[in-house]
Amino acid sequence: MKAGGLNLLDHGAAGSHWEKVLDKLSTGRMPPLGSPQPAKAEVAEIVAWIERSTGRRQTVVEPGRVTSRRLNRAEYNNTVRDLLGVTLRPADEFPLDDAGYGFDTIGDVLSASPLLMEKYMAAARRLSHAAVYGETAPAMPAKLVRLMTKKSQDDPTPGALPFSNRGALYGSFQFPVSGEYELRMRVGNYRPRTTATARQRELSRKRNLSEAEKKELDEENRKAYPPVRMVLNFDGAQVLTEIVEGNIDYQYAHGESIARVKAKAGEHSFRASFPEFAGIDNPLDNMNLDGRRKLFIDYLDIVGPFNAQPQKPDSYERIFVCREQSDACAEKILGSLARRAYRRPVAKSELDPLTNLAAMVRKQGDSFDESIRVGLQAMLLSPHFLFRAEPPEAGIISEHDLASRLSYFLWSSMPDEELLRTADEGRLRHPGQLAAQVRRMLTDPKSDALVEDFAGQWLGLRLMDRRKPDPKSFPRIDDELLEAMRKETELFVRALLREDRSVLELLHGRFTFLNGPLAHHYGIAGVRGEGFERVELQGDRRGGVLTHGSILTQSSYATRTSPVLRGKWVLENLLGTPPPPPPPGTPALDEGKAAVAATLRAKLEQHRANASCAVCHDQMDPIGFALENYGADGAWREEDGGLPVDSSGAFPGGAPFRGPDGLRKQLQGQSQLFVRNLTEKLLTYALGRGLESTDRPAVDAITARMASNGFRMTVLVQEIVNSAPFQMRGKGEGGRIAAR
């Protein structure tokens, strides 16, 4: 009891203590991983005794309450996109959202600061203007922006695009109006003189070359520096390709390359790169000794618009559902907007202030369109839009509240017209209707938000920008490769969802998604090009998210691996059994200064000799050692510091295991714990609150249904939507389940 800081004889906290004991025992979280396990019958007997003794046996459904919560940044951007049809992302400039229980959907922490309110007002003005009139554009063609990459991996220049060892430049831009634009780009060519032949140097020094000599020099350059193909893609379609010839004069290969494209107003993506570089084994082959890249896209200017099309933005058609320019038409327009913006029918008392405001604008001499814009601006500042508030009464929530909960769970956005109309007609809870809506919504591309926002936070993918390998220790790692690692995990989770596969494949899935550079980094042959493709994995080196570079890099130090960090990550994120903080006075382990893994293993063995340290390290260290074949950059390695990597480990009293395959088998034995943890995480994300003791029966029912349906991903989503906590609102807060 002392080691865990728990005293069951403390009568002042006896209720909460026994609640913790009940939770740990009933969910399989105690005894801890690697410790001798009692028989299931013995656990069931003690659990029943605790429930009888403390009166904790659940007999009445108490679903808990959700604090009225504002839209977080992702939800705000997605909602204005679906409400107005604009591609602006104003919430990217909002202050970062606070997180609770691991997610930024938690109502208790989503506060509204004065700074945020200022951002809301600026966003409402810009959004309403863009939706009614479109973005402001120059009257004559002009350079709208010059886009450049970072100078190096650790370049802190604000606004610079991601750094690519292979010389690519990619990103997106918000085009103000529909029309034609020129993409003007220049290739930097710094291939060194040192590899030139004597004949090349002789010819390059001559001022007046004959035609024969020019031809000879061109041929010599091609031999020393083979031509490289450069490609510019716009929204995924190739709009320009050129051959970059050899060059020994430390200068740009040629002037600007220009591609003219037609673009509708809104956000569009671009990528300029050298596709054959995706197949090189070592991206540092494109680096000079002075640190400059030999070939790279120096910049891309966006110039325009040319032949601008003076037309209303697409959002105009969505907003102006009538054109009579009368009071009745204004009321119809604002009423239609408010119904969608507030995600429910709008009372006359709520609509009247908006229509009166619009009428006042017209009386002052402004146009009908401007009156609607002002009404829309006010709507975007309304608490009914900014907050997801539900009536205070306990019980089954309304169909409109259910539709809103469902859409923000699966899409991080407002209900679409079909879902809203189904709620209007009172049919959402009709037999089979809710299940049909869930299936429809999961097949919609907007369900990518569930992968990006839930998995991005649960698996820590959002932290990758802050937890990068040190560029001096791992020069092959760049922003482009880190982005590929993140995309691999997102595509993998998306496949589990879209293909309705078992959630257990997160632990041992035998496929993944790779492009050429990431495949080379992993040492997997047969994958070429810059695009991602599905790869069936062979051997035991890769399989499941634990072997993804996205997970391996963020669970390491910047300069070296850490068995402790990796073991803690698995216990906390996958099994939901985070080790407790070390007791006061426990000596710190300075593992960051260990020269190699062998030295670190010896240090950890000494650390575990301390009984108070062994409680946690006996669980963490074996997991981390099994992953030691992966460096801090996620690449496979056989040696560390010239010594063979020892990836063996064993839990106290258990059989030894080795490497990632041995760890996968150990984790498969903990599949029940993993499934329960995933259920609790996704339910927390969906509800927007921490789980309470009264939610345990719902979690039990969901995990039981999953076990009887092959642990399929869609079953997990459907059962959460069907659960009492999701469909009901409680009277008050119960006891929180301890944060895990």
The string of pLDDT tens digits covering residues 34-71 is: 566 677 676 666 766 776 666 555 555 678 888 889 99
| Structure confidence by residue, pLDDT tens digits, 604-659 | 776 666 666 766 788 888 999 999 999 999 999 999 988 899 999 888 777 889 99
Q: Please indicate whether residue 608 or residue 730 has the higher confidence score (pLDDT).
A: 730
The answer to whether 315 and 84 are in contact (CB under 8 A) is yes
Average pLDDT for the chain: 88
Tens-digit pLDDT profile for residues 175-211: 999 999 999 999 998 876 555 667 766 776 777 878 8
Q: What is the pLDDT of residues 323-374, one digit of tens each?
A: 999 999 999 999 999 999 999 999 999 999 999 999 999 999 999 999 999 9
Quote the tokens at residue 44.
Answer: 């069931």
CA distance to 27, 63, 144, 507, 577, per residue, from 668 (Å): 16, 32, 54, 7, 16
The dihedral through the CA atoms of 241, 247, 251, 255 has a sign that is: negative
**CA separation for the pair 237, 300 (Å, rounded):** 17
pLDDT, mean of residues 103-113: 95
Give the separation between CA 504 and CA 713, rounded to whole angstroms.
Answer: 9
Q: Which of 587, 588, 569 minimizes the C-alpha distance to 579?
A: 569
CA-angle at 238, arms to 237 and 239, nearest 5°: 110
Taking domain 142-306, whether its CATH number is 2.60.120.260 is answered by yes
Read off the tokens for 700. 């039990």
DSSP string, 617-645: HHHHHHHHHHTTTB-TTS-B-SEETTEE-
Q: If we measure between CA atoms, which residue out of 102, 40, 27 comes closest to residue 697?
A: 27
Instruction: Give the DSSP letter of residue 450.
Output: I
Q: Are 381 and 118 in contact (CB under 8 A)?
A: no
Q: What is the mean pLDDT of residues 693-705?
A: 93
- Per-residue pLDDT band for 18 (boundaries 50, 70, 90) equals low
Structure tokens at 682: 């996704």
- pLDDT confidence band for 740 (50 / 70 / 90): very low
Q: Which pLDDT value is given to residue 286?
A: 92
Q: Is the pLDDT of residue 8 over 80?
A: no
pLDDT for 590 beyond 70: no
DSSP state of 275: G
pLDDT score recorded for residue 35: 63
Whether 416 and 407 have beta carbons less than 8 Å apart is answered as: yes
Per-residue pLDDT tens over the stretch 431-456: 999 999 999 999 999 999 999 999 99
Other beta carbons within 10 Å of 627: 25
- Residue 374 one-letter amino acid: V
What is residue 227's predicted lDDT score, i.e. its pLDDT? 83
> What pLDDT does residue 58 have?
55
Each residue's pLDDT tens digit, 144-156: 999 999 988 888 8
d(CA 658, CA 649): 6
What pLDDT, on a 0 to 100 scale, did the predictor assign at position 17? 63
Average pLDDT over residues 410-425: 98
Q: Rounded to the nearest 5 degrees, what angle is found at the Cα of 679, between the Cα atoms of 677 and 683?
A: 120
Q: Is the pLDDT of residue 32 over 70?
A: no
Token readout for 277 is 């570089």
